[in-house]
């Protein structure tokens, strides 16, 4: 079994993080289902990452778990596809397509990550953290988080990178630089206006590639974080509960979403 020494640091860091933070009030129930085929190391790291995300949200935002979360770690594409059918009621055709194109999903508290098919441990943890951020977006906005496409995916990627960095995964610290280098090599870049709706974001994934599209979104979110800090990010998602997306954006960041979308350049 191949283990990455960098990642062995993670459970230890999370252990200490757990010791340092006060016990969190869990209002929601956590159910974790692990396929038999998932390697023990991968499972241990993924469990530690889940706890790291809970701690991060408690510490950074004072947000606890208020709704039930059900998490499934699948061991390969076949079982991932089967979980998508069972948990989301997808047809076999839909599930195959989704399983082929994604490594993790989150819907209303049901989170499935294909741990087995991602060969790089670091990416497994990144996908897991990304999907857990979606869980909190849904919880805090009462499932109204989808209004601005690049905010949804960009904050999931930006926070996943930040969380991994916070818990001590070494390579995570160079994220922004690495993302910009990759975007510089891209043949074309979507504008944020292209990524405003979920449909626009999906179509940009098709035109420019998923990585370029998500990275552009994440860098836009990082720019907002540089302006207003991490607390503003979830002030936005919380404001979506009872405001329009434009008002929520203005309240959180002090700028109009449309102006920001026009002006933003990733580098
Ligand atoms: Zn996502």
Residue pLDDT tens, the chain, 267 long: 433 444 444 444 343 343 333 344 458 899 999 999 999 988 988 898 899 899 999 999 999 999 999 999 999 999 999 999 999 999 999 999 999 989 999 998 999 999 987 767 778 889 999 999 999 999 999 999 999 999 999 999 999 999 888 877 656 668 888 899 999 999 999 999 999 999 999 999 999 999 999 999 999 999 999 999 999 999 999 999 999 999 999 999 999 999 999 999 999
Contact 218, 193 (CB under 8 A): no
The answer on 150 and 136 residing in a single domain is: no
Using the mean position of ligand 1's atoms as its centre, give its distance from the Cα of residue 134 in Å. 7
The domain of 21 spans 1-143
Using the mean position of ligand 1's atoms as its centre, give its distance from the Cα of residue 161 in Å. 13
Using the mean position of ligand 1's atoms as its centre, give its distance from the Cα of residue 8 in Å. 26
Using the mean position of ligand 1's atoms as its centre, give its distance from the Cα of residue 150 in Å. 10
Using the mean position of ligand 1's atoms as its centre, give its distance from the Cα of residue 166 in Å. 20
Range 201-235 burial, b when 16+ CB lie within 10 A, else e: beebbeebeeebbbbbbbbbbbbbbeebebeebbb
Using the mean position of ligand 1's atoms as its centre, give its distance from the Cα of residue 160 in Å. 10
The answer on 134 and 151 residing in a single domain is: no
Based on the structure, what is the number of domains in the chain? 2
The answer on 137 and 164 residing in a single domain is: no
The answer on 128 and 113 residing in a single domain is: yes
Cα 81 from Cα 89, distance rounded (Å): 11
Using the mean position of ligand 1's atoms as its centre, give its distance from the Cα of residue 133 in Å. 8
Across the beta sheet with 110-114, the strand order is: 30-34, 69-74, 110-114, 104-107
Using the mean position of ligand 1's atoms as its centre, give its distance from the Cα of residue 131 in Å. 6
Pairing of strands 69-74, 30-34: parallel
Nearest to 72 by CA among 113, 37, 123, 115: 113
The answer on 157 and 129 residing in a single domain is: no
Using the mean position of ligand 1's atoms as its centre, give its distance from the Cα of residue 135 in Å. 10
Cα 239 from Cα 125, distance rounded (Å): 28
């Amino acid at each position: 079994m191949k283990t990455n020494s960098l990642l062995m640091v993670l459970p230890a860091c999370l252990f200490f993080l757990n010791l340092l933070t006060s016990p969190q009030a869990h209002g929601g129930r956590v159910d974790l289902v692990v396929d038999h085929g998932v390697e023990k190391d991968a499972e241990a790291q993924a469990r530690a990452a889940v706890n790291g995300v809970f701690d991060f949200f408690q510490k950074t935002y004072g947000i606890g778990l208020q709704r039930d979360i059900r998490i499934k770690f699948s061991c390969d594409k076949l079982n991932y596809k089967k979980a998508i059918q069972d948990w989301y009621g997808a047809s076999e055709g839909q599930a195959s397509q989704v399983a082929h194109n994604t490594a993790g999903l989150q819907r209303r508290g049901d989170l499935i990550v294909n741990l087995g098919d991602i060969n790089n441990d670091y990416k497994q943890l990144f996908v897991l953290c990304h999907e857990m951020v979606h869980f909190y977006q849904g919880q805090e906005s009462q499932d109204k988080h989808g209004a601005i496409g690049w905010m949804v995916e960009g904050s999931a990627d930006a926070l996943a990178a930040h969380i991994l960095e916070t818990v001590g995964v070494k390579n995570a610290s160079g994220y922004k630089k690495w993302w910009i280098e990759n975007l510089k090599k891209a043949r074309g870049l979507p504008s944020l206006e292209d990524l405003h709706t979920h449909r626009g974001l999906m179509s940009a994934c098709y035109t420019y590639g998923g990585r370029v599209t998500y990275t552009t979104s994440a860098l836009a979110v990082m720019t907002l974080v540089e302006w207003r800090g991490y607390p503003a990010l979830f002030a936005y998602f919380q404001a979506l509960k009872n405001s329009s997306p434009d008002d929520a954006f203005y309240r959180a960041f002090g700028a109009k979403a449309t102006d920001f979308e026009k002006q933003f350049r990733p580098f």
